[in-house]
Each structure stands twice: as C-alpha cells, then as structure tokens.
Amino acid sequence: MRKGLLSTVAALSLAGSLTACGSDSGGESSGSGAKKPKIGVILPDSKSSARWETADRKYLGEAFKAAGVDYDIQNAQGDKQQFQTIADQMITSGVNVLVIVNLDSGTGKAVLDKAKSQGVATIDYDRLTLGGSAQYYVSFDNTAVGKLQGEGLSKCLTDMKAQKPIVATLNGSPTDNNATLFAQGYNGVLDPKYKAGEYVKGPDQSVPDWDNAQAGTIFEQMLTSQPKIGGVLAANDGLGNAVIAVLRKERRNGQVPVTGQDATVQGLQNILAGDQCMTVYKAVKKEADATARLAISLAKGEKGTTNATVEDPEGKREVPSVLETPVAIYKENVKDVVDDGFVTKEELCTGKYAALCTEAGIE
Ligand code: BGC
C-alpha cells in the first residue's frame, strides 16, 4: 500500500511536470497570438529571365523576413512535374499560403485547386493563372509594359531616322498570359503605324517558354527570310540579347533598335553599349512587398488591400489584384535603376562598361 502511494505520488508529480512543460510552450505560443504563418513560393525557372533568382527570390525573402514569418522559396526550373511536386511538399509541410508563378495555366490551376481543397490560401504572383482559383493576383500593369515597349521602339526608330522600317516581333511564351498582355500593349502602338504605312510589319513569332536559345534560332530564320529587318520588338531582355547576338555576327548591332524588359544587368549593359534601345524596369521590390502583405493578411484570415481587379477571361471572374507601374529605361536613365538599388554599380559597370557607366552618369 505504501509502495503504491509512493508510486502514485511519483506518477502524479511526473504527470504534473509533463503538463507544466507542455503548457509552458503552449502558453508561449498562445501568449504571442496565433502560430507563426508559413508562406511557400514557387518560382518558374532561372533561364527565361535573370529576374526570378536575382530579384524576386531576394526581395520576397527580405519582405517575409521583415514581417517575421516563416517561408520557403523554391524554383521549379521550368519543369511542370517538379512544380507540382514542390507544391505537394509545401502543402504537406503546412504552409498557410502558397504563392505561385505558373509555368502554364493548366498546371498552375491544378496546383491552386489542390491547395484550396487543403485549406491553403493562394496568390498568383506576376502571372495570372487563367481559369485558376487564386484569391489574389499581384503583378505589374502588363499591358502598360507592352505599351512602353511599343513606344520605346518607335522612339528609337525616330531617333535613327529610319525610313519605313520593317519591324520584327518576338513575343513571349504563348502559355504565359503576360505575353498576351505585353503583345496587346505593343501591338496597340505598332498596328496603327503599319496601317498608316509608317512601318512595315515583318515576321512575328512567339518564343516557346521564353527560351532564349530558341529565340536566337528564330531570329536567324527571320533575318534569312527578311534580311532588311530594321527594328525588333523583343518581349524581354533575354530575347533581346539573343537577337543582339545574331545582329553582332552580322555586324549590324547598334543599327537595328531592339527592345527588352526586366532591366537585367545584361539588358542594361546592352543599352549602355548602344546595342539595345530600351528596357522596361519593373520594381520587383514593390511587387514582393505587396505579396508579403497580402500573404500575411491571408494567413491571419484577414482581407488584404488591393488597388485593382483583373478579369480572368477563362474563369470569367474578377480577381482582386495589386498592380504596380512599370518604367521605360533608355541610356539616359539607366542610372535610375542603379539608384533604386535594383542592380549595383559593381555588377553593371565591369570591364568595358566602366567607361560607358561614367558617360551615363553612373557614379
Ligand atoms: C514576366 C517577365 C519575364 C518573363 C520570362 C513574364 O511573365 O512578367 O518579367 O521576363 O515572364 O520569365
């Protein structure tokens, strides 16, 4: 009996200390409010544009860190299967919010729908998933991006006093809704000029998956079929650089204005060298900050602040959105991109670009 009492006391005190220990940590987390939210981000690839690894990963990470939330940022490296695997892993690991840059709307939709069915909130980042179910969409005004490209090409053609130039077009990936919006923007500027006989419409092709190497082959073929191309609307800096590389081989770089997008180091260097006419700077920091804010509201079950609604023509729904404003960059204002901290002087002004940077007022 005595032995029994002792063991009961021992058992009680053991249970007591276990309870105390358990409630301690429980008390801690309830004392500091809800559990720390966790946000998963899937980036699309690292080849279609330098931005995803150099800008988006960095600014999203910084925004989540500043907000004190847990996060996991992964890159699907252009592989749709891998994209789905990463999403599954993130959902299993207990993310509260999943942020995706889709590789195409079909696979994007599958991932969004799955997350939704598991109670995970979702955000379309940069690219809208057509027919998808994301609660929010954060991007730039992408038609405005295209408009700046069309106006930029036209400004450079005017500066060069080009006479009835033949304009070639390299569109982005046909599976990227942004590529459609960019094209609406630049065709809105260029089509009236073709109609008026000011410019001649040359070859126009989409580049699958924004593949820079394929863009080079496509442009070589365009030049073969139409050797007098006098201006190129290229939808981003990677495609523009592929075009410039072909023009260099023909010793025609600098004589044919080429556009771009993303203000990549390479694109800005091509502009400083006079080989690229312009790029479009999208302050990814703003896009990332807005995404972090919305993700945190979603994790807390609160409504986020948006500044636009975007119509998903396939899902026939209005998606609450945050859209940031793009800026056109020419040689004269490459400096602004450095001042904004998007690229550093050290990475931009290397080797032969040092003197060009000085000329462009980059100190
Ligand atoms: C983005 C561009 C990028 C392109 C290729 C688009 O959806 O908006 O910034 O250059 O994808 O990655």
pLDDT at residue 32 greater than cutoff 60:
no
Closest ligand 1 atom number to CA of residue 282 = 9
Pocket test for ligand 1, best of 126, 184, 214 (most atoms within 8 A of CB): 126
312 C-beta closer than 6 A to ligand 1 = no
Residue 179 C-alpha to ligand 1 middle, in angstroms?
Answer: 8
Cα–Cα distance for residue pair 231/140, rounded to 1 Å = 26
pLDDT at residue 6 greater than cutoff 50:
no
Q: Which CATH architecture has domain 142-281+328-359?
A: 3-Layer(aba) Sandwich (3.40)
- For the domain 3-141+284-325, what is the CATH superfamily, name and number? Response regulator (3.40.50.2300)
219 C-beta closer than 6 A to ligand 1 = no
328-344 pLDDT per residue, tens: 999 999 999 999 999 99
pLDDT at residue 283 greater than cutoff 70:
yes
pLDDT at residue 252 greater than cutoff 90:
yes
128-149 pLDDT per residue, tens: 999 999 999 999 999 999 999 9
Q: Single out the residue of 271, 246, 291, 248 nearest to residue 66, CA to CA.
A: 291
% of the chain at pLDDT higher than 70: 91
Long-range contacts for 34-37 (Cβ within 8 Å, ≥24 apart)? 34/300, 36/68, 36/69, 36/70, 37/69, 37/70, 37/96, 37/97, 37/295, 37/296, 37/299, 37/300
Output the pTM of the full model.
0.91
Cα–Cα distance for residue pair 151/328, rounded to 1 Å = 9
pLDDT at residue 247 greater than cutoff 60:
yes
178 C-beta closer than 6 A to ligand 1 = yes
Q: Collapsing DSSP states into helix, strand and coil, what is residue 311? A: strand
Complete DSSP assignment for 168-227: EEEE--TT-HHHHHHHHHHHHHHHHHHHTTSSEEEEEEE-GGG-HHHHHHHHHHHHHH-T
What confidence tier does 34 reach under pLDDT thresholds 50, 70, 90? low
pLDDT of residue 33: 54
Q: Where are the domains of the chain?
A: 3-141+284-325, 142-281+328-359
Residue 146 C-alpha to ligand 1 middle, in angstroms?
Answer: 12
236 C-beta closer than 6 A to ligand 1 = yes
110-120 pLDDT per residue, tens: 999 999 999 99
241 C-beta closer than 6 A to ligand 1 = no
49 C-beta closer than 6 A to ligand 1 = yes
pLDDT of residue 232: 99
Question: Which protein residue has the closest C-alpha to ligand 1 atom 9?
Answer: 262
Closest ligand 1 atom number to CA of residue 178 = 7
Question: Which protein residue has the closest C-alpha to ligand 1 atom 6?
Answer: 178
126 C-beta closer than 6 A to ligand 1 = yes
What confidence tier does 31 reach under pLDDT thresholds 50, 70, 90? very low
What confidence tier does 287 reach under pLDDT thresholds 50, 70, 90? very high
- Domains 3-141+284-325 and 142-281+328-359 alike in fold: yes
287 C-beta closer than 6 A to ligand 1 = no
105 C-beta closer than 6 A to ligand 1 = no
